[in-house]
Amino acid sequence: MLKYIFILFLGAVALVGCKTESADVAGTQDNVLLDLWDTPYGTPPFDEIKQENYKPAFEAAMKMHKEEIDAIAANEAEPTFENTIEALEYSGEALTKVQNVFSAMNSSMTNDDMQAIAKDVYPMLSAHSDEINLNAALFERVKAVYDQKDALELTTEQSKLLDDYYKGFVRGGANLEGEKKERFKKINEELSVLSVQFGENVLNETNKFEIVLSTEEELAGLPESVLEMGAAEAKAKEYEEGKYVYTIQRPSMYPFLTYSTNRDLREKLYKGYINRGDNNDDLDNKKILAKMAALRAERAQLLGYPTHADFVLEEQMAKNPENVFELLDKLWKPALEVAKNERADMQAIIDAEGGDFQLQSWDWWHYAEKVKMQKYNLDEEELRPYFEVTNVINGVFGLATDLWGMTFEEIDGIQKYHEDVKTFKVLDKDGNHMAILYTDYFPRESKRGGAWMDVFTKQHKKDGAFIHPVVYNVGNFAKPTGDKPALLSVDNVNTLFHEFGHALHGMLSQCTYPSTSGTSTPRDFVEFPSQVMENWCMHPDVLKKYAFHYETKEPIPDELIQKISNASKFNQGFATVEYLAASYLDLYWHTLTDTEEKDAAQFEKQVLDEIGLIPEIISRYRSTYFNHIFAGGYSSGYYSYVWSEVLDADAFNAFVATGNVYDPEVAEKYRKYILASGGSDDAMALYRQFRGMDPDIKYLLAKRGLE
């Protein structure tokens, strides 16, 4: 997932070199977050940043930004693209710089103090954003430039930037007046607080749940690697020798659900996962999310939209909720039929083993693994030794080298925020410096779950200088245990390649403006460059280059590669249905037309019953821990993964059709029109330039076995 940064203000750009002469705010003297960073490649000086720096830095940076905005609005010169739009675009540098660091640390190195700062600061940012969006004089200048757009000789990127700014003001409430304007500001402030609280509750729920095991009966069925993982977790939590701990972090939970033969413990662990935020205690999220949905509906209607989804989707490729529902419906029926067949296969095994129970949601992983063994003779544990994390990283780096000539050099001398972090200097095919990449792949209690990409500095150009991006990838993969290195599952490998696709989008960007560079694209396009990478990771030609046994150093045998290929569509009914269920849930929450707060549990049940979700499958995200839509930037947008997958399946076919998945001509077109272009043009226009035609859904249906 592309991580959502809580940037509310306009003209956001991360730049080193911001000074604080104009800031007269208590506590900002010698504040490292605002100083000129004398570091290699302008990377954050993490060793010097203290938690007490953040709030004063935010306050000072907002003051600086306000002064810049006031100067633009008060400019007596005739409004031009340069003195209004570009001036806005390059304003707020200090604020973006502070925000980029804080957002990264609050996701990866959080604690009670950081969360308290977030609760203080995010309402301030919301109010700051509103002050800009509702600045009548500023909007008047933007509108004046927009009204003469056709007479201006703008580049495609400049035209897109102008459109985005004008629409941004309108969508930010610029046309609101009086009580409506004040209510709009109040809603934004309240939503910012609720969003932070929702995410904190999910993190705390995730961190507090664990099962502690020790007996042979409790550990039955677990292979050595899963036992080692549990022992390592117990040791990290300072339990005595002989204890094994499993958590609801996915790298811990999924292997346990897959191999444990103790059905009661599988149920206990899985229910701990799916009941997060739904335990009627101080971490309960039901009222929070219901309030957020109601406030979003009210805000949309203030702006003249029937629903929040209509408001969000207007600026996406999908354009409206009807188009999203149409895509989901095309996939739902065939996926549900496949999932029902998968259920029948698993129930047959249960019956054959003499089980006297019906398959339940906490049984799915366990019996799916048995079906996979029965049908394909493929055991996940057989694959892990070939997916040592360093080899996988080398694999994805090597793929970038083969496609675009990029090289990656691990370097010292760059300050890191945690010992698990690695830093790389990225060079282009001509040997010139391209970017800095941080990787942070192991779980810890201070890090939220999932995987994401973001930036400390976005690529852009200013005053004739090319500003190189500083990018990071974050994951939560199983850590090394004892003498054994970190061995990844197939799903982990896919995730690593996926997030690296986002990183490529940021690193290969060649745009002028930060607001159009890299991953600054519609939400339902941004997942395309990440998801297309997943097509390569299990391709036979690519596997042979990076999948080596961590002990013998032997390459993965052809027999295993064939098994992977044979099983490529296995369990796709389940994977598609649980994902689509969450997408429907998101869309139903955000197509509400009334502003009454719903009973969250009742509403969720009603939605899932209406679409016909079978009880053996739980929505990938239940409402109470759906961080994407209630603590992130994916509200009305969780569908974007499958929308983007239509693009990625079609795009990869362009390589496959040549007979060479490294085809240099296709790779160069993909780099030029997709990775380098960011959001500098309409997303579909960029895709057509790359592909020469519109994407065809048939490649996605074939890929998932849903024809």
The architecture in CATH of the region 385-556 reads Orthogonal Bundle (1.10)
**What is residue 529's DSSP assignment?**
H
> Coil, strand or helix: which one is 498?
helix
Residue 647 in tokens: 């693009």
What is residue 30's predicted lDDT score, i.e. its pLDDT?
Answer: 76
What is residue 22's predicted lDDT score, i.e. its pLDDT?
Answer: 35
Are 449 and 249 spatial neighbours (Cβ–Cβ below 8 Å)?
yes
What is residue 1's predicted lDDT score, i.e. its pLDDT?
Answer: 60
What is residue 5's predicted lDDT score, i.e. its pLDDT?
Answer: 35
Element of type H or E holding 212: strand 210-213
Euclidean distance between CA atoms 470 and 457, whole angstroms: 5
Q: Is the pTM of this model over 0.85?
A: yes
Please report where in the chains the tokens 């795009």 appear, as a residue.
651
What is residue 483's predicted lDDT score, i.e. its pLDDT?
Answer: 84
**What is residue 675's DSSP assignment?**
I
Residues marked active site are found at: 499
The per-residue pLDDT for range 551-583, each reduced to its tens digit, is 999 999 999 999 999 999 999 999 999 999 999
What is residue 133's predicted lDDT score, i.e. its pLDDT?
Answer: 93
Euclidean distance between CA atoms 446 and 454, whole angstroms: 18
DSSP E strand stretches across 384-535: 407-410, 422-427, 433-440, 452-457, 460-462, 465-467, 470-474
CATH topology (fold) of 1-133+135-171: Neurolysin; domain 3 (1.10.1370)
Say which residues have a Cβ less than 8 Å from residue 615's Cβ, sequence separation at least 6.
Answer: 360, 361
What is residue 29's predicted lDDT score, i.e. its pLDDT?
Answer: 60
1-133+135-171 against 385-556: fold identical: yes
Q: What are phi and psi of 666, to 5 degrees?
A: -65, -40
Are 607 and 581 spatial neighbours (Cβ–Cβ below 8 Å)?
no
> CB 89: neighbour CB atoms within 10 A?
22
Are 536 and 479 spatial neighbours (Cβ–Cβ below 8 Å)?
no
Euclidean distance between CA atoms 148 and 626, whole angstroms: 43
- For the packed helices 286-302 and 178-208, what is the interaxial angle rounded to 10 degrees? 150
Euclidean distance between CA atoms 54 and 60, whole angstroms: 10
Residue 635 in tokens: 């509200």
What is residue 120's predicted lDDT score, i.e. its pLDDT?
Answer: 95
Q: What's the Cα-to-Cα distance from 118 to each of 95, 106, 511, rounded to whole Å?
A: 15, 8, 31
Domain boundaries, the chain: 1-133+135-171, 209-274, 385-556
What is residue 315's predicted lDDT score, i.e. its pLDDT?
Answer: 95
User: Which residues of the chain fall short of a pLDDT of 50?
Assistant: 3-27
Burial class (CB in 10 A: 0-12, 13-18, 19+), 533: buried
Euclidean distance between CA atoms 37 and 15, whole angstroms: 10
Q: What angle do CA 21, 26, 30 make, to 5 degrees?
A: 55
What is residue 4's predicted lDDT score, i.e. its pLDDT?
Answer: 37
Are 222 and 129 spatial neighbours (Cβ–Cβ below 8 Å)?
no
> CB 487: neighbour CB atoms within 10 A?
24
Euclidean distance between CA atoms 363 and 617, whole angstroms: 10
What is residue 375's predicted lDDT score, i.e. its pLDDT?
Answer: 95
